[in-house]
Amino acid sequence: MSVPSAALASQVARLPFDGVCLDMQHGMIGFPDAVGMIAAINAAGRPALVRSLWNDAATPGQCFDAGASCVIAPMVNTRAQAEALVRAAKYPPMGARSWGGYTALQASGLTPAEYLREANRMTMVFAMVETVEALENVEAIAATPGLDGLFVGPSDLSITLSKGAGVDKTGKETLAAMARVAQAARANGIVAGAFGGSAEVIKTYLGLGYTFIAAAVDVDLMQWGAADLNRTLAG
């Protein structure tokens, strides 16, 4: 989702998808918006995921405290940056997340001791691989203890692969790079994820072994629905 609306999040959470991801990087969603949206998504029985604005130390804990199940951090280019991400997202001894997740704690129905024990398993953290630098380090990033998955940003990845010449989400070089990322994830028993955005792209990435795909953006779904309606009426 890119649109900051709890009312819309509640509707999107009832569409036939496995979860709803809030885009705090390229969407228009800030943390106060995310709080209401996460609650609406969870109330519909779906997991709420968040793509953070940046790989900062505060956002994972803040979003998990509010009830998010997964945080996806952009532009994780090195092993050190991946380790910093895990530190921000996981409680000790795996990381250094600060205690205070009252919304998540109450919603879990667990005692504080149980929540502390279960939280690192209940919350997932994914590193975005979307630069040539990240690709060169992908085996080391994928082996970061506590990291739950890799998530490819194919647009940025193709931009850096082509040195700024263009965006090509299904170009030969992009797909070769994505095959390497999927292999690194598989070798470490973590999730291989990517941003899809259209049926054709999703099918291509499934073919590469990706198992977690951000399917489509809210505004695109609306545009496609409107275009389809007009086509049907015209036909």
Cα–Cα–Cα angle for 17, 23, 28, rounded to 5 degrees: 125
Q: Is 154 in the site for ligand 3PY (CB under 6 A)?
A: yes
Of 11, 14, 15, 26, the catalytic one is 26
Nearer to ligand 3PY, 10 or 158 (CB): 158
Residues 167-226 touching ligand 3PY, rule: CB under 6 A, are 195
Pick one of 27, 67, 153, 196: the residue that binds ligand 3PY (CB under 6 A). 153
38 close to 63: Cβ distance less than 8 angstroms:
yes
Pick one of 2, 5, 78, 155: the residue that binds ligand 3PY (CB under 6 A). 155
Q: How far is the CB of 82 from ligand 3PY (least distance, A)?
A: 17
Q: Is 148 in the site for ligand 3PY (CB under 6 A)?
A: no
Nearer to Mg ion, 130 or 148 (CB): 130
Q: Is 156 in the site for ligand 3PY (CB under 6 A)?
A: yes
Q: Which residues bind Mg ion (CB under 5 A)?
A: 130, 153, 156
Q: How far is the CB of 124 from Mg ion (least distance, A)?
A: 19
Active site (annotated) includes residue 105: no
Which positions are annotated as active-site residues? 26
